[in-house]
Amino acid sequence: MSPPLLRRARDAGLDVAARHADAVDRDARFPTEAFAALKAAGLLGAMVPRDFGGEGATLADIAAVCHELAQHCPSTGMIYAMHQIQVACVVQHGQQSAWHRTLLERLAAEQLLLASATTEAGIGGDVRSSSCAVEASGGRFRLEKNASVISYGEAADGILVTARRTPDSPASDQVIVAVLKDDCRLEQTVGWDTLGMRGTCSMGYRLSAEAGIEQILPLPYADISARTMLPTTHILWASMWLGIATDAVGRARAFVRSEARRKPGATPPGALRLAEATTMLNQMRASIVGAVRQYEEALGDADRLTSMGFAVAMNTLKVGAAQTLVRIVEQALLVCGLNGYRNDSEYSVARHLRDAHSAPLMISNDRILGNTANLLLVHKDTMGLFG
Amino acid sequence: MRATAWTALGDETAEDVASMDTTIREILADSGWLAVDVAALSDGDDLYAAGLTSHGSVNLMLALEERFDIEFPEQLLRRRTFESIAAIREAVTGLRNGTAGA
Ligand SMILES: Cc1cc2nc3c(=O)[nH]c(=O)nc-3n(C[C@H](O)[C@H](O)[C@H](O)COP(=O)(O)OP(=O)(O)OC[C@H]3O[C@@H](n4cnc5c(N)ncnc54)[C@H](O)[C@@H]3O)c2cc1C
Helix/strand number for chain A, H first, E second:
14, 7
Ligand 1 atom 29, closest CA? A125
Strands annotated E in chain A: 114-117, 135-137, 140-150, 158-164, 174-180, 184-190, 203-212
Q: DSSP states of A71-123 as a string?
A: HH-HHHHHHHHHHHHHHHHHHHHSTTSHHHHHHHHHHHHH---EEEE--BTTT
Mutate to test the pocket of ligand 1, among A116, A197, A318, A367 (most ligand atoms within 8 A of CB): A367
For A142-201, the pLDDT digits (tens) are: 999 999 999 999 999 999 999 999 999 999 999 999 999 999 999 999 999 999 999 999
Task: Label residue A386 by pLDDT band (50, 70, 90).
Answer: confident
Q: What is the CATH number of domain A221-376?
A: 1.20.140.10
CA distance A63 to A124: 26
Are residues B74 and A303, on separate chains, in Cβ contact within 8 Å? no
Is residue A268 over pLDDT 50?
Answer: yes
**How big is the CA angle at A9 (ends A7 and A12), to the nearest 5 degrees?**
110
Beta partners for residue A184, in sequence order: A209
The architecture (CATH level 2) of A5-112 comes to: Orthogonal Bundle (1.10)
Nearest CA in chain A to B72: A378
Are residues B53 and A172, on separate chains, in Cβ contact within 8 Å? yes
Query: According to the model, what pLDDT value does residue A206 have?
Result: 98
Q: Is the CB of A194 under 6 A from ligand 1?
A: no
Residue limits of CATH 1.10.540.10 in chain A: 5-112
Query: According to the model, what pLDDT value does residue B9 have?
Result: 46
Higher pLDDT, B13 or B50: B50
pTM of the predicted model, to two decimals? 0.94
Q: Is B62 on the interface with A (CB under 8 A)?
A: yes
A173, A371, A374 ranked by CB distance to B48: nearest: A173
CA distance A119 to B10: 49
Task: Label residue B14 by pLDDT band (50, 70, 90).
Answer: confident
> How far does the CA of residue A172 sit from the closest CA of chain B (Å)?
6
Q: DSSP states of A250-303 as a string?
A: HHHHHHHHHHHHHSTTS--THHHHHHHHHHHHHHHHHHHHHHHHHHHHHTT-HH
Query: According to the model, what pLDDT value does residue B33 have?
Result: 83
Count of other CB atoms within 10 angstroms of residue A82: 25
Query: According to the model, what pLDDT value does residue B7 have?
Result: 44
Q: Which residues of A touch B49 (CB under 8 A)?
A: 165, 169-170, 173, 220
Q: Is A126 on the interface with B (CB under 8 A)?
A: no
Between the two ends of chain B, the Cα-to-Cα distance in Å is 26
The architecture (CATH level 2) of B2-97 comes to: Orthogonal Bundle (1.10)
Between the two ends of chain A, the Cα-to-Cα distance in Å is 37
CA distance A355 to A359: 8
For A269-319, the pLDDT digits (tens) are: 999 999 999 999 999 999 999 999 999 999 999 999 999 999 999 999 999
For A318-364, the pLDDT digits (tens) are: 999 999 999 999 999 999 999 999 999 999 999 999 999 999 999 99
How many Cα atoms within 13 Å fall on the side-chain side of residue A182?
A: 1
Task: State which ligand 1 atom lies nearest to the alpha carbon of A363.
Answer: 18
- Chain B 5-44, CB below 8 Å of chain A: which residues? 34-36
CA distance A237 to A61: 14
Beta partners for residue A159, in sequence order: A115, A179
Domain A115-215, classified CATH 2.40.110.10, yes or no: yes
CA distance A133 to A168: 8
Report the pLDDT averaged over residues B29-43. 88
Q: Is the CB of A124 under 6 A from ligand 1?
A: yes
